[in-house]
Structure 1
């Protein structure tokens, strides 16, 4: 008897079940696509809009970086490939823009002499030196002045629109010289150019702002003759001539009346150059911004006035960072241990009260504490019945800073210690108890090592933060007290506040030098953090 093989029969489709609609599937697909296209279009459009201004300013590095970012975004998000990059690219871009780029720019700035008196370029300095020696050309015409630009009102490029007050003839003047204007080229009202097609005319306020130090109109002149230029004088313009002639090829300034030749020579300080004659006479005290190599770093270690302060401030910075982290950690840990005991009633209320200092903005808390430490009407002296000039003496001021930082920082340590304690299994403590360990031994041998494994990276980060805790010093003591013999370095200054004072606090700002100190701080903080991470590596054995 032969048995026929069974056939596979496909069951008919169940038409009672609803089919997934293409409309629903399309909605979930089309909407993200539209959002993606719009966002990528905005990025590309922004790059296209910004590029002309960057090209006009000659910022080719920014142009290249901008379009590199656009290409990366389009390559990653315009396709369905490179899925991991879709998550890595945003964080990487933010890391480069907000961390790597500022570090590189600070390092680059540290090799320059940028600061007060050296903000301008060499070309602008030469123009100012020649302009300062210029006198009005006899019988030369005077002009009404309007300033126009086809770019920004602060940085130009600028053009002088001049009307001869005697003849009424109109001219446009730029760095190339004068060009006569026709009747259709500009609108003249009451002897002043009031409108030029395609050109923005600056208001008087904008002219004043653009003529300030570092502005695009600073030192701007229009060549008018062999040795004469037209220069702004208030809101008019006059033709001036100078005995000084600059030879760009030889990089010299020659006095045509005396024949004296001045060449750029580096000053004894090593951070500035001046046009100087052979006998050492300076043509002017005006200098310019330039690269000076490692001179700022050499100065930081060799200038006695700076190196002596640097060492003492560095030691106090270490003490401040270690003291702040140590005191806040031990107080926060002690409170966390107490509040983690189930026998304590009202734990939520107590924890909320402990966290209150952490909820107050730091700048407000520091400003309030600055008043608390006041000798005459401060809360501390009033409550304790003392008459201590807390912020007027170095020792008490440092103590006040540490105590204030303790009050502001222990809630954070309490918070992370509470989380670490609650993550430790209770079975471990029970096992230790069965082995005869009392409460203190359980904490020292079991709880503390496991807790340190969790909080050690945060302690290192807290140390790095306090090592550069500018707000705590600036808002509480402003770095003081200061001694009459040394008004630059205060008794509570840490390295970052000292750097800030060098850059912005003195009459003459030294931004290039302060950048060099910042680079040294960056390296020093990194080395200390690396050493601390290496020291905490032994804690890894706890979990093995």
Structure 2
């Protein structure tokens, strides 16, 4: 199509490319808003990356933002316009967490090994600060930059000689401009721009945090002495750069830095509690396989984990299929009512039902023992506790299998069953040779996903038994623990978090589920080829 005007023809008018999501006023408006949000999020995310000097992350952020702007501001690459959002979300919420977990598995990251070596030195020195004769005294006001009940604490201290007010936290001390604070007659700060001064009642509720806070200084650290006074104490342990060690100023004892373990170690093997994050190679993985105190419980847990996943998946499948077959016959009256009743467990919140079942298995007042007149300590023995959690999972899981089996049965033509009966096949023979193979083609992928879910079914164990019962010699690994609950206890247990070790176990879990899924999917393709 060519437009004309006085003086001759002009350039042809070309329509917008078909399928361009930016076509039309509404499309352009949506595109502008979404791109504006993308740029705003990128700017918001850039500041913490710059502050922490994470230049690689900043480069990836800039490249991704520039790529998205180029992609959606040009009329080309139509398929990529639809694939890009899903790809970005996949990388952000799937690939990145997996890679981060894998990288953590090769470190000693955990309690006492979270930060850098310099941060460990500062923590060791400030933790050893004590008040000595001649320590400088300060008027103290406790404040926060956030919520009074949970925000980060800040010490507003007033030098008694210069009347200079400084603000201090775990990162250090900084002077506050005189015009930004109001100082009372006692020297204490009564108001400060950008800070919320805690009342006596609010400070009392956080007294433990106030006592624990130490503000690093050149001479040692500032610590509180009550809620209105503070002192600059002297560090009892100091870092000596010459020997790369921590030296006790009173006794002269030293702890030398060991870069292999990320800690200061004494001549007798004693380690200081505060260390730093270092790479340990395959140490966490070999620890699982070679440490006798860990390998035995780990493999026992693995065997039970597989048994639990197989029993839960197989049991729910068999029970769900039997109920679906029973209600598939047109001779059954009230099928709709039965189906509604059978899916009720699936409609209930699983976490609430797990808590109810835990109480039902209670030895003293549980419904199970009360109904049968028994006094079984269900969660006291390994066998009974494992049976209990499998029964609970059977009750919670069969409605899902019942629903999918019902749908798959309705998709199988009845003519096939009728033809098999005409050919003389029995009901069992027709089911085994015709119905079941056709069901497995449709249901095998669902069984694989159900196995993967049950293999990592954290709620089923943690909300019923919490992994119990525990042997006397290993309170960290219970008889009903799955690898996922065992990993959780390691990562967040009261004995100290070991994130690197927990990440290594997570990699083992990932590999096990991936191998089982790959083999099962290959079997599924074989079934599809046979029945295609």
2:46 maps to which residue? 51
1:429 and 1:496 mapped to 2: Cα distance?
Answer: 44
Give the aligned length: 504
Match of 1:514 among 502, 512, 517: 502
1:15 maps to which residue? none
Could you tell me which runs of 5 or more consecutive residues in structure 1 were left unpaired when the two chains were aligned.
1-26
Larger-Rg structure: 1
2:163 maps to which residue? 169
Match of 1:534 among 505, 522, 531: 522
2:62 maps to which residue? 67
**1:361 and 2:349 correspond:** yes
2:288 and 2:184 mapped to 1: Cα distance?
Answer: 59
8 Å CA contact 2:171–2:216 kept in 1: the answer is no
8 Å CA contact 2:172–2:216 kept in 1: the answer is no
TM-score in terms of structure 1 length: 0.81
1:28 CA drift (Å): 8.9
2:126 and 2:36 mapped to 1: Cα distance?
Answer: 49
1:14 maps to which residue? none
**1:240 and 2:233 correspond:** yes
1:465 CA drift (Å): 0.7
- Please show how residues 350-389 of structure 1 align to structure 2 within 5 Å: 350-389=338-377
1:126 and 1:76 mapped to 2: Cα distance?
Answer: 48
1:424 maps to which residue? 412
- Please show how residues 119-138 of structure 1 align to structure 2 within 5 Å: 119-136=114-131, 138=133
1:208 and 1:282 mapped to 2: Cα distance?
Answer: 36
TM-score in terms of structure 2 length: 0.83
Which range is displaced more, 496-505 or 408-417? Answer: 496-505
2:252 and 2:347 mapped to 1: Cα distance?
Answer: 71
Which range is displaced more, 203-212 or 285-294? Answer: 203-212
1:398 and 1:71 mapped to 2: Cα distance?
Answer: 54
**1:252 and 2:248 correspond:** no
1:464 and 1:416 mapped to 2: Cα distance?
Answer: 17
1:238 partner SS:
strand
8 Å CA contact 2:191–2:197 kept in 1: the answer is no
Instruction: Go from structure 1 to structure 2 and tell me whether the alpha carbon gap of 1:161 and 1:385 turns closer, same or farther (over 3 Å shift).
Output: closer
1:293 and 1:194 mapped to 2: Cα distance?
Answer: 53
1:307 CA drift (Å): 0.7
RMSD: 3.6
- Please show how residues 75-474 of structure 1 align to structure 2 within 5 Å: 75-136=70-131, 138-145=133-140, 162-165=157-160, 167-170=161-164, 172=166, 184=179, 186-190=181-185, 191-194=187-190, 199-200=194-195, 203=198, 219-223=214-218, 228-234=219-225, 236-242=229-235, 244-248=237-241, 251-254=244-247, 262-265=255-258, 273-276=263-266, 279-280=267-268, 282=270, 284-474=272-462
2:288 and 2:472 mapped to 1: Cα distance?
Answer: 22
1:168 CA drift (Å): 4.5
1:478 partner SS:
coil
1:328 CA drift (Å): 0.8
Which range is displaced more, 402-411 or 54-63? Answer: 54-63
